[in-house]
């Protein structure tokens, strides 16, 4: 089979720069796809962390004027990834979080910064880099969503574009007066162009002009193509019909492998989930929780935002503590939630402990040591932490929404009898639904054989990229062939 060359375009990529699951996906896909005949090169902004890691980095193209300055495109490798790095210091030479300034707010020029990324991707599609012509461009989220719009308005013979929506809540809306500065014609500012509620809608434009749209789970694909789940874009998404599909995320099963994970005090596999006891004790010690081997220990690894529903957990903490359970949380995000968890930890010393931080090593320890991982999201396009939990023998407790609904088999009577249950799935996503599922979990935890069966079923579940990579590869080939036939 001839390899298909795909240019992936992403504002984050693990392990170089990450704020969430988008980085994990962008970082894992190239390796997973290589096994399916796809050669993926990823275009990323030249943040300091990316440039510092780049080996080679020789200039492959120069752009005199891009978003108010000159830019150099550098080709090279970093962390095993083939990259094209957009070295444009006036746009990206800013340390830390890729979107936020030191005041914790969005950089005021984010509209220009990510339009430039998309514009350069479209230029690469049009032949900017000598001897490199991708057959397909894969654009991730609003930051890259203008790629097909640039192609459309340039009228060039450029490759087909797949747009993946990782989270419809982030739509990239910017003022109309940016249009000229980002190199789009005035004529683009119409309802069947980039206009969206009086502004420029990056994701809106992507949805309109992409050749195919994917999102990160089948259930989320259905949810977003509707009035209720569409966040203003439901009609447009529904209008794309079969061009919209859900392809479930996987996780990197080498980064997340309890049998080889160097970050764990004790490594283990599905044959011996009881070996997790050592990790549970280490987690309790690290978090200053009482060293009680039999106390049900809940874990959370999450951004702290409205989306993640963790205020439901805050409300349930008194009951949880009264039942003798413990909580170890690692997360950062919105101040009201950070404060809420700090206060809760102070109120329940030894029983509730929160690390307001972003730390990969602690995330691994939580997954390896907690009994049940909580993901009570109000909506969740896919969710990766419940997949890590499955692989690590932490029983996931998730809301019935998006990818959570697609990846966890609820411990109902039939599933338990069939040995298929892997966790707990709850609805309604409100205080009553959450309180009820916590009661079910606490009861389930006391039934040791059933609990262990659930752990083993979870650890055997396929959470790898194998299947999704096949689906992406098939999609790229379809699009590439369609173009050849046209
Ligand atoms: P989202 O992208 O919406 O934040 P996902 O579940 O898809 O949610 O991905 C989150 C990723 O970020 C996972 O890899 C998770 O382990 C990681 N993560 C989230 N918060 C933290 C944290 N505080 N410390 C370490 N890793 C975190
Ligand atoms: C987004 C979503 C999350 C998904 C991730 C990777 O951040 O919130 O559900 O897993 O992207 O696709």
Q: What is the topology classification, in CATH, of domain 273-460? A: Rossmann fold (3.40.50)
The arithmetic mean of pLDDT across residues 17-36, rounded, is 97
4 beta partners: 38
For the Cβ of 28 lying below 6 angstroms from any atom of ligand 1, the answer is no
Say whether pLDDT at 1 is over 90: no
For the Cβ of 170 lying below 6 angstroms from any atom of ligand 1, the answer is no
Element (H, E) at 389: helix 385-392
Q: Whose CA is nearest to atom 1 of ligand 2?
A: 166
- pLDDT tens readout for residues 383-405: 999 999 999 999 999 999 999 99
Which atom of ligand 1 is nearest to 19's Cα?
12
Two domains, one topology: 4-250+466-485 and 273-460: yes
Residue 194: per-residue pLDDT: 98
For the Cβ of 246 lying below 6 angstroms from any atom of ligand 2, the answer is no
Say whether pLDDT at 486 is over 80: no
Sequence-separated (6 or more) residues with CB below 8 Å from residue 310: 300, 302, 304, 331, 337, 341, 374, 376
Residue 484: per-residue pLDDT: 75
Which atom of ligand 2 is nearest to 166's Cα?
11
Q: Are 413 and 423 contacting, i.e. CB atoms less than 8 angstroms apart?
A: no
For the Cβ of 169 lying below 6 angstroms from any atom of ligand 1, the answer is no
% of the chain with per-residue pLDDT over 70: 100
Which of 195, 410, 431, 207 is CA-nearest to residue 312? 431
Distance CA 396, CA 385 (A): 9
Say whether pLDDT at 169 is over 80: yes
The alpha carbon of 189 and the centre of ligand 1 are apart by a number of angstroms equal to: 36
Phi-psi region of 212 (alpha: psi -120 to 50; beta: other; left: phi over 0): beta
- pLDDT tens readout for residues 84-93: 999 999 999 9
Q: Whose CA is nearest to atom 24 of ligand 1?
A: 358
Confidence of residue 377 (pLDDT cuts 50, 70, 90): very high
All structural domains of the chain with their residue ranges: 4-250+466-485, 273-460
Sequence-separated (6 or more) residues with CB below 8 Å from residue 93: 46, 47, 48
Q: What is the topology classification, in CATH, of domain 4-250+466-485? A: Rossmann fold (3.40.50)
């Amino acid at each position: 089979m001839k390899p298909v060359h795909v240019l992936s375009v992403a504002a984050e990529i693990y392990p170089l720069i990450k704020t969430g699951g988008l980085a994990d996906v962008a970082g894992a896909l190239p390796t997973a796809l290589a096994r399916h005949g796809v050669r993926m090169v990823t275009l990323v902004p030249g943040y300091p962390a990316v440039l510092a890691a780049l080996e080679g980095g020789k200039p492959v193209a120069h752009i005199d004027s891009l978003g108010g300055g000159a830019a150099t495109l550098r080709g090279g490798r970093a962390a095993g990834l083939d990259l094209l790095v957009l070295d444009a210091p006036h746009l990206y030479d800013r340390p830390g979080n890729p979107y936020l300034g030191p005041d914790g707010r969005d950089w005021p020029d984010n509209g220009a910064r990510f339009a430039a990324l998309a514009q350069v991707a479209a230029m690469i599609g049009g032949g900017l880099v000598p001897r490199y012509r991708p057959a397909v461009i894969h654009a991730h989220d609003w930051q890259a969503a203008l790629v097909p719009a640039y192609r459309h308005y340039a009228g060039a013979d450029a490759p087909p574009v797949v747009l993946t929506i990782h989270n419809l809540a982030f739509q990239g809306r910017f003022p109309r007066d940016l249009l000229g500065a980002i190199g789009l014609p005035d004529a683009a500012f119409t309802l069947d162009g980039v206009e969206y509620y009086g502004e420029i809608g990056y994701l809106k434009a992507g949805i309109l002009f992409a050749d195919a749209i994917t999102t990160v789970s089948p259930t989320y694909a259905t949810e977003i193509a509707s009035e209720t789940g569409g966040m203003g874009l439901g009609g447009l998404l529904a209008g794309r019909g079969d061009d919209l599909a859900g392809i479930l995320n996987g996780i990197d099963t080498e980064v997340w492998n309890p049998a080889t994970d160097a970050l764990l005090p004790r490594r283990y596999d599905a044959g011996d989930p009881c070996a997790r006891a050592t990790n549970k004790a280490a987690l309790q010690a690290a978090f200053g929780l009482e060293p009680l081997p039999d106390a049900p220990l809940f874990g959370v690894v999450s951004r702290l935002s409205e989306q993640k529903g963790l205020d439901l957990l805050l409300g349930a903490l008194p009951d949880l503590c009264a039942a003798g359970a413990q909580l170890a949380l690692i997360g950062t995000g919105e101040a009201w939630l950070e404060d809420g968890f700090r206060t809760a930890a102070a109120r329940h010393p030894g029983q509730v402990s929160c690390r307001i931080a972003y730390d990969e090593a602690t995330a691994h320890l939580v997954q390896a040591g907690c009994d049940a991982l909580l993901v009570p999201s109000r909506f969740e396009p896919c969710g990766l932490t419940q997949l890590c939990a499955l692989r690590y023998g932490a029983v996931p407790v998730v809301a019935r929404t998006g990818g959570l609904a697609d990846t966890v088999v609820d411990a109902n009577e039939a599933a338990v009898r069939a040995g298929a249950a892997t966790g707990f799935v709850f609805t309604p996503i409100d205080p009553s639904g959450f309180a009820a599922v916590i009661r079910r979990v606490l009861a389930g935890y006391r039934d040791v054989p059933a609990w262990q069966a659930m752990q083993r079923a979870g650890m055997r579940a396929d959470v790898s990229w194998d299947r999704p990579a096949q689906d992406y590869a098939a999609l790229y080939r379809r699009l590439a062939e369609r173009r050849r036939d046209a």
